[in-house]
Structure 1
Amino acid sequence: MELAPEQCRAARGLLDWTQEHLAVRAGVSRSTIRDFERHRHVLHRGTESLLIRTLQEAGVMLLPPGEHGPGVRIR
């Protein structure tokens, strides 16, 4: 699964997490998350996997792109 910048922002919103909080939980830099969410760069596969795992472990379901694009949902 690929994580879209919009999904990352929406997932953080559902969890009420800041970029800093996600960065600490995932073990990445805040600037990585900031730049990704602003479409400044694409994530490395390993970093993307860390973010996906962290969000899923926190209870977020990442929905694949469908008719209306990718989405997020709380379990």
Structure 2
Amino acid sequence: MNLLVTACFFCLVLASLGQMPISPAQSRAARGLLNWTLADIAQAASLGLSTVKNFESGLRATTPANLNTIYRAYVDAGVEFIAARNGKGVGVRLAADI
């Protein structure tokens, strides 16, 4: 199974659990909005730096649990993930109350 297929499978698993998956690009964008380094998100998500680095670079798919942990760390820090809608792509933004 190639990396893209594996990553898409994990996204479907999370979606079936009612949790929005994020892409590596969204993770990089969220870090930019927060002015966080890879080390910052790794610490906030209680994951190893290599886990986050490999996910964001697309070198290796991460587990659904790790993906959810990264997602929750960003949401807890005030990032909102925007789902694709009406032919427009996904995005990220800061919550209004930050």
Structure 1 regions of 5+ residues with no counterpart? Answer: none
Aligned length: 75
The Cα of 1:25 is off from its aligned counterpart by 0.9
Root-mean-square deviation over aligned CA pairs: 1.0
- Sequence identity (%): 35
Q: Does 1:19 align with 2:38?
A: yes
Whether 2:78 is the aligned partner of 1:71: answer no
Superposition TM-score, scaled by structure 1 size: 0.92
Moved over 6 A (4+): none
- Secondary structure of the 2:73 match is helix
Which one of the candidate residues 29, 54, 64 is aligned to 1:45?
Answer: 64
Rg larger for: 2
| 1:31 and 2:36 are equivalent in the alignment | no
Higher relative contact order, structure no. (Cα contacts within 8 Å, ≥ 6 residues apart): 1
SS of structure 2 residue aligned to 1:3: coil
C-alpha distance in structure 2 between counterparts of 1:68 and 1:42, whole Å: 25
